[in-house]
Amino acid sequence: MKDIYLDNASTTRVHPQVAEKMMDVLVNNYGNPSSLHRLGIHGELAIKEVRSLIAQNIKCQAQEIYFTSGGTEGNNMIIQGIVENKKRNKMRIITSAIEHPSVLDVFTFYENHQIEVIVLGVDSQGHIDMDELKNAVNEDTILVSMMGVNNELGTIQNLAAIGKIIKSVNPNCIFHADFVQGFMKIPVDVQACRLDALTISGHKIFGPKGIGAVYIKKGTDIKPLIRGGGQENNMRSGTENVPGIVGFGEAIRLRKDCFNDEYEAVRELRTYFIETITATVDDIKINGDPNGSPYILNISFNRVRGEVLLHSLEAKGIFVSTGSACSSHKKEKQYVLKAIGLAEEYKEGTIRISFSKDITKNDVDTAVAAIAEIVPSLRLLVKPRKK
């Protein structure tokens, strides 16, 4: 039985060419990029090449890219680095209610340390209200952090419009976007969006885990979280993860000429999934924006527990998630569904399907047939809620 992996928003399978490039660095070109000999210089040049490649794809300068261990570190590095650098009597920072925990938890930390935190609500599709944002930004606002593509719903925020509003009210306010679910899937232009900082990650695009990067606009003052050897222009000390960086670079190269075409193909697949599942299974809700990222589909089934459905599908070799993998250990797992106002009877029965280039129409047919077989039997075990 072929496994059908529909959890690509959590992580992706490393592409064989990525693994091959990484193995060469691990075994043959393993020098420390800070070393002065040939192997060290080889590593330094490899890092420089990938830095330029990332910059080309988000429209910035290579020296504005800094490597990290991934999205969580990147978001912490930007938010904490800005707040710690700006510390003054009156400070306001703004985000939305559906951000990744690596953003929301940092905001909560600062809320408990006498910093004014504004968390914007979202509508039923997961969009922020632009008027609410405009009213929230003032002269004390030092940072707005907004997720480009929501990791549970796939909702895409209009970063260009958000950037325009922020800068029109307070040109000195730093605008940061968590773009982990969008990088090399949806085009982004950091200059057109007036972004000062952006977070990206490697393992969502068939690259390795443990590697990511941030864009920090030249001239933006950020206090480094990690001090030591002065690597990454003193922004992130520690020996660079050269195998990870090279693998990240290869993953980008493999996608840069095809991700626009892939986007349309995946959208057709997502649409087909929705049409098939709504024709086959009753009493369900499709959450998020229909025009959001085609890579993510969030579905709620009434009178079904999402975790039970997940494991029932797993028994058939079909892998999905009940939400963000990074929220699975949290007490409040459904804060995104709560924020969009999803009815209580649907929250427990929510799963996230996340697509990739490797998913076929036959895979969709198999997955939908399995859900259609499992859901009625699970509903027999659950008593209807009292109204």
Active-site residues, by number, are 326
What does the block give as tokens for 341? Answer: 């106002």
Provide the Cα torsion 13, 14, 17, 19; round to 10°: -140
Burial of 211 by CB count in 10 Å (0-12 exposed, 13-18 middle, 19+ buried)? buried
The candidate with the shortest Cα–Cα distance to 345, out of 291, 283, 269, is 283
Q: Name residue 5's amino acid.
A: Y
CA–CA gap between residue 236 and residue 211 (Å, rounded): 13
Axis crossing angle, helix 259-280 with helix 242-256, rounded to the nearest 10 = 80
CA–CA gap between residue 205 and residue 207 (Å, rounded): 6
What does the block give as tokens for 297? Answer: 């589909």
| Rg of the chain over all Cα atoms, to the nearest angstrom | 22
* Angle at CA of residue 107, ends 101 and 109, nearest 5°: 100
**What are the strands, taking DSSP E only, across the chain?**
4-5, 65-68, 92-96, 116-120, 141-147, 174-178, 197-201, 212-216, 284-287, 296-301, 318-319, 350-354
Count of other CB atoms within 10 angstroms of residue 259 = 19
Contact 335, 151 (CB under 8 A): no
Q: How far, CA to CA in Å, does 354 sit from each of 7, 10, 269? A: 5, 8, 11
What 38-47 contacts at long range (C-beta under 8 Å, 24+ apart), as own/partner pairs, is 43/240, 43/242, 46/242, 46/245, 46/246, 46/249, 47/240, 47/242, 47/245
Strand 141-147 relative to strand 92-96, pairing? parallel
Reported as half-sphere exposure (CB side, CA atoms, 13 A), residue 64 has a value of 22
